[in-house]
């Protein structure tokens, strides 16, 4: 069992680092508000596929790195990612049984939860006010979910990550 | 088959731990100064990610440069030469005026201002958070960048350095809601504070009485008070002055002179911060 557990961890880490890069990659101003939350989407995929390996702890670390990269108050994204991933891990068996588009809807809800949590925490910590723009990344997230799902499933099977 | 969480800590316990940890970090970051060193360390740690993220953009501009046609280059060269000629002419006058200024200052027994070091830095990352106006530049501790250092571009003041990592640092723009900069009007020397609005093209001056002489089109330059910025760099241009007498102060909005929406290369300034200069300026 130990041998199975230790397999392919760096491959998972690689995808997550890639999403961190995508999260801060410069984009034209027009597309900027619509940047999907790559990190969280990929995290959700891994928690659904391998809930025993990727769950709250990994999500917290990724969120924390996001905080450092984005320059927000440390802990905001970390907490939000951890809570969202907690929700998806505790329901992973249900979510797995849905079709990809139904999953996309659920991912959309999780992303919306993430953005509301981040907004809430930053409202209390740095006094920002709500703008509808804050929820714009949810829709692109829903749209990219099926593709992320297919690509990562292929990736997971190809490299036999368990 | 792998048991879900069979061997490690149960997931609820993990969540609780992580939530507590997050609140500890948030509290530390918000209410103490202890996180500055931690942040500097963490920023140094993630600097490679900034470099990787700016790679596609850089390679794109490199490719564009490589495939520029000969004519375009020649044209650009001509334009730059013409510009240099014009600027050289200005510089000649400037050198003369600087000498004169120094002599006059010496006559008046005030300090002669020293020239400081300058360094060009490139912007690697622009913050995506709609509530913060922050950019990351590719110079850090190893280049001698320090916290609070003024940053300008070819037109005017861009902002100041807020945190320094080993090879990168974070610059807060003058348009950020938490930033304010002391200025004076170039035309008549009236002092004011310019605050950010959260929008890249709009700044505002708060607490300006109705009686003060400020007009549309006035250029605001740094006053040097407060010691964070050297004196005399252009900051903003006043776009509107409204006198609504039902309000205690005039409503003044200004537009930054620096091109904050397309910052690409910036200039870091080193200058002598001397408290006695401040005292001399205010009799």
What does each C-alpha distance from B177 to A70, B34, B71, B101, B255 come to in angstroms?
A: 17, 23, 45, 37, 14
The DSSP letter of residue B231 is: T
Residues B146 and B261 in one domain: yes
Residue B197 lies in a domain: yes
Cα separation of B165 and B142, whole Å?
A: 9
Average pLDDT, chain B: 83
Residues B62 and B171 in one domain: no
Tell whether the model's pLDDT for residue B123 goes beyond 90: no
CB contact under 8 A, A78 and B23: no
Q: Which of B2, B11, B18 to mutate to test the interface with A (most CBs of A within 10 A)?
A: B18
Q: Choose the CATH number for A2-158 among 1.10.1760, 3.40.50, 2.20.25, 1.25.40.
A: 1.10.1760
Tell whether the model's pLDDT for residue B280 goes beyond 50: no
Could you list the residue range(s) of the whole structural domain that residue B56 is in? 11-66
CB contact under 8 A, A26 and B54: yes
Residues B52 and B135 in one domain: no
Helices (runs of H) and strands (runs of E) counted in chain A: 8, 0
Residues B51 and B158 in one domain: no
Cα separation of B204 and A136, whole Å?
A: 28
Cα separation of A42 and A146, whole Å?
A: 11
Please name which of A2, A6, A36, A1 lies closest in space to residue A22, comparing C-alpha atoms: A36
Tell whether the model's pLDDT for residue A2 goes beyond 50: no
Return the pLDDT at A104.
Answer: 94
Please name which of A113, A102, A92 lies closest in space to residue A49, comparing C-alpha atoms: A92
Residues of chain A with Cβ-Cβ distance to B54 below 8 Å are 25-26
Q: Which chain A residue is nearest to residue B31, measuring alpha carbons?
A: A125
If residue A84 lies in a helix (H) or strand (E), which one and from where to where?
A: helix A76-90
Cα separation of B15 and A55, whole Å?
A: 10
Residues B270 and B164 in one domain: yes
Cα separation of B34 and B37, whole Å?
A: 7
Tell whether the model's pLDDT for residue B281 goes beyond 60: no
Residue B102 lies in a domain: no
CB contact under 8 A, B15 and A56: yes
CATH classification of the domain holding B231: 2.40.10.340
Cα separation of B180 and B197, whole Å?
A: 10
Return the pLDDT at A127.
Answer: 67
Alpha carbons within 13 angstroms on the beta-carbon side of residue B91 total: 6
User: pLDDT confidence of A27, banded at 50, 70, 90?
Assistant: confident
Residues B53 and B147 in one domain: no
Residues of chain A with Cβ-Cβ distance to B170 below 8 Å are 71
User: pLDDT confidence of B261, banded at 50, 70, 90?
Assistant: confident
Return the pLDDT at A47.
Answer: 93
Contact between A98 and A72 (Cβ < 8 Å):
no
Q: Classify strands B180-185 and B219-222 as parallel, antiparallel or unpaired.
A: antiparallel
Q: What are phi and psi of A100, to 5 degrees?
A: -60, -40
Residue B83 lies in a domain: no
Question: Once rounded to an integer, what is the mean pLDDT over residues B11-32?
Answer: 87
Phi-psi region of B45 (alpha: psi -120 to 50; beta: other; left: phi over 0): alpha
Tell whether the model's pLDDT for residue A69 goes beyond 90: no
Domain tally for chain B?
2
Cα separation of A105 and A99, whole Å?
A: 10
Q: Enumerate chain B positions whose Cβ falls within 8 A of a Cβ in A.
A: 2-6, 11, 14-15, 18-19, 21-26, 28-30, 35, 38-39, 42-43, 45-46, 49-50, 52-54, 56-57, 125-132, 134, 170, 261
Cα separation of B120 and B153, whole Å?
A: 9
Return the pLDDT at B128.
Answer: 59
* Tens-digit pLDDT profile for residues B28-67: 887 877 677 788 888 888 888 888 888 887 888 888 888 8
Residues of chain A with Cβ-Cβ distance to B42 below 8 Å are 68
Return the pLDDT at B3.
Answer: 54
Of A21, A122, A133, the CB nearest to B52: A21
Contact between A67 and A76 (Cβ < 8 Å):
yes
Tell whether the model's pLDDT for residue B4 goes beyond 60: no
Tell whether the model's pLDDT for residue B216 goes beyond 60: yes
Contact between A81 and A66 (Cβ < 8 Å):
yes
Cα separation of B101 and B109, whole Å?
A: 12
Question: Once rounded to an integer, what is the mean pLDDT over residues B203-211?
Answer: 87
Question: Once rounded to an integer, what is the mean pLDDT over residues B8-27?
Answer: 86
Using DSSP's 3-state secondary structure scheme, residue B6 falls into coil
Of B5, B11, B29, the CB nearest to A86: B11
Return the pLDDT at B114.
Answer: 62
Question: Once rounded to an integer, what is the mean pLDDT over residues A38-54?
Answer: 91
Cα separation of A115 and A5, whole Å?
A: 32
Please name which of A65, A70, A34 lies closest in space to residue B132, comparing C-alpha atoms: A70
Question: Once rounded to an integer, what is the mean pLDDT over residues A116-135?
Answer: 82
Residues B42 and B174 in one domain: no
Return the pLDDT at B272.
Answer: 67
User: pLDDT confidence of B7, banded at 50, 70, 90?
Assistant: low
Average pLDDT, chain A: 87
Q: Which of A21, A58, A66, A136 to mutate to test the interface with B (most CBs of B within 10 A)?
A: A21
Q: What are phi and psi of A8, to 5 degrees?
A: 75, 20
User: pLDDT confidence of B247, banded at 50, 70, 90?
Assistant: confident
Q: Which of A4, A79, A126, A128 to mutate to test the interface with B (most CBs of B within 10 A)?
A: A79
Residues B177 and B252 in one domain: yes
What does each C-alpha distance from B92 to B85, B233, B274 come to in angstroms?
A: 11, 19, 29
Question: Once rounded to an integer, what is the mean pLDDT over residues A134-161?
Answer: 91
Residue B104 lies in a domain: no
* Tens-digit pLDDT profile for residues B124-156: 877 656 667 888 888 888 888 988 899 998 888
Residues B49 and B174 in one domain: no
User: pLDDT confidence of B200, banded at 50, 70, 90?
Assistant: confident
How is chain A split into domains, by residue range? 2-158
Residues B123 and B250 in one domain: yes
Return the pLDDT at B283.
Answer: 39
Return the pLDDT at B213.
Answer: 85
Residue B166 lies in a domain: yes
ipTM of the complex, rounded to two decimals: 0.83
CA geometry: angle at A96 spanning A36 and A39, to 5°? 25
Lowest average pLDDT, out of A20-34, B143-157, B215-229, goes to A20-34
Residues B137 and B29 in one domain: no
Contact between A33 and A63 (Cβ < 8 Å):
no
Q: Provide the strand spans (E) within chain B.
A: 118-126, 134-137, 150-152, 157-164, 169-173, 180-185, 191-199, 202-208, 219-222, 234-242, 250-256, 265-269
Residue B120 lies in a domain: yes
Q: Which residue has the tokens 């999953």?
A: A103
Return the pLDDT at B282.
Answer: 42
Q: What percent of chain B has pLDDT over 70?
A: 88
User: pLDDT confidence of A64, banded at 50, 70, 90?
Assistant: very high
């Amino acid at each position: 069992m130990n041998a199975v557990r230790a397999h392919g961890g760096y491959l998972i880490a690689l995808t997550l680092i890639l999403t961190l890069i995508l999260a801060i990659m410069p984009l034209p101003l027009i597309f900027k508000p619509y940047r999907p939350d790559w990190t969280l989407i990929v995290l959700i995929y891994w928690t659904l596929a391998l809930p025993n390996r990727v769950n709250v702890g990994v999500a917290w670390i990724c969120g924390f790195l996001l905080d450092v990269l984005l320059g927000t108050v440390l802990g905001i994204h970390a907490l939000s990612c951890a809570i969202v991933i907690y929700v998806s891990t505790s329901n992973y068996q249900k979510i797995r049984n849905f079709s990809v588009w139904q999953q996309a809807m659920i991912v959309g809800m999780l992303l919306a939860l993430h953005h509301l949590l981040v907004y809430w925490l930053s409202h209390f910590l740095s006094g920002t006010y709500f703008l509808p723009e804050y929820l714009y990344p949810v829709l692109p997230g829903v749209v990219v979910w099926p593709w992320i799902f297919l690509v990562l499933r292929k990736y997971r099977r190809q490299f036999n990550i368990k | 088959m792998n048991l879900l969480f069979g061997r490690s800590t149960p997931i609820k316990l993990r969540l609780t731990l992580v939530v507590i940890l997050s609140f500890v970090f948030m509290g530390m970051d918000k209410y103490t100064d202890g996180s500055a060193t931690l942040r500097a360390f963490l920023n140094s740690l993630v600097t490679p990610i900034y470099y990787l993220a700016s790679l596609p953009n850089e390679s794109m501009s490199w490719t564009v440069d490589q495939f520029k046609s000969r004519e375009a280059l020649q044209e650009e060269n001509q334009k730059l030469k013409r510009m240099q000629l014009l600027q050289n002419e200005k510089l000649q006058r400037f050198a003369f005026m600087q000498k004169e200024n120094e002599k006059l200052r010496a006559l008046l027994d005030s300090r002669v201002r020293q020239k400081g070091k300058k360094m060009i830095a490139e912007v690697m990352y622009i913050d995506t958070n709609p509530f913060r106006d922050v950019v990351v530049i590719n110079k850090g501790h190893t280049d001698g960048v320090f916290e609070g250092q003024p940053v300008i571009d070819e037109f005017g003041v861009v902002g100041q350095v807020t945190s320094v990592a080993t090879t990168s640092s974070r610059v807060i723009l003058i348009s950020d809601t938490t930033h304010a900069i002391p200025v004076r009007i170039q035309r008549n020397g009236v002092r004011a504070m310019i605050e950010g609005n959260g929008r890249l093209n709009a700044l505002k001056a708060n607490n300006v009485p109705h009686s003060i002489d400020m007009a549309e089109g006035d250029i605001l330059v740094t006053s040097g008070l407060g010691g964070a910025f050297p004196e005399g760099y252009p900051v903003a241009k006043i776009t509107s002055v409204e006198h609504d007498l039902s309000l205690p102060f005039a409503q003044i909005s200004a537009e930054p002179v620096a091109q904050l929406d397309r910052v690409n290369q910036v200039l870091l300034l080193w200058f002598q911060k001397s408290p006695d200069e401040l005292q001399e300026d205010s009799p």
